[in-house]
Amino acid sequence: MITVTGTVRSALDASSAFAYLAAFEHTPEWDPGTPVVRKLSDGPVAVGHRYHAEAEFRGKRQTLMYEVVELAGTVIKLRGENKSVISVDTIDVTPSGSGSEVRYTAEFRLKGWLKLAEPFVKPAFQSLAAPAMDGMKKTLDARAAR
């Protein structure tokens, strides 16, 4: 398994940050590695809601189907899957002063014979974190400034 984590502090209050990040369809606004996310379920975000996502990885676009598997307290957890990988994304939003702290953890499990490649592709997965975390901070701070 490959685990990638990052933490940002934002001026946006925790409740607003949680609501914004729980709406997974906002991801393309802050994560350049995920240019497409479409919500496939109706109504407000809830456990069981599904999304179509397209992620850029090593110059190729990969389609994943995501599902919200946890949405409680401070935690948002989604599970994405395609023929090559299972991704579990956990977002934990907590108060930090008048703003928030967001810890994002992405766990990737390559399927089948691709598991053998995990040590070699781990740096490529880890390179996705900094642009995403920078984008998240900028986007959340911009929402706080409104």
Domains and their CATH numbers in the chain: 2-144 (3.30.530.20)
Q: Output the CA–CA distances (angstroms, integers) from residue 96 to 19, 93, 129, 134, in the order listed.
A: 16, 9, 22, 18
d(CA 93, CA 143): 15
Tell me the pLDDT tens digit for each residue of 57-66. Answer: 878 899 999 9
First to last CA, the chain: 39
Structure confidence by residue, pLDDT tens digits, 32-57:
999 999 999 999 999 999 999 999 88
**pLDDT of 89 above 90:** yes
The pLDDT score that the predictor gives to residue 21 is 96
- Report pTM: 0.90
- How far apart (Å, rounded) are the C-alpha atoms in residues 144 and 12? 4
pLDDT cut 90: percent of the chain above it: 79
Taking the CA atoms of residue 61, residue 35, residue 9 and residue 108 in that order, the dihedral angle to the nearest 10 degrees is -20
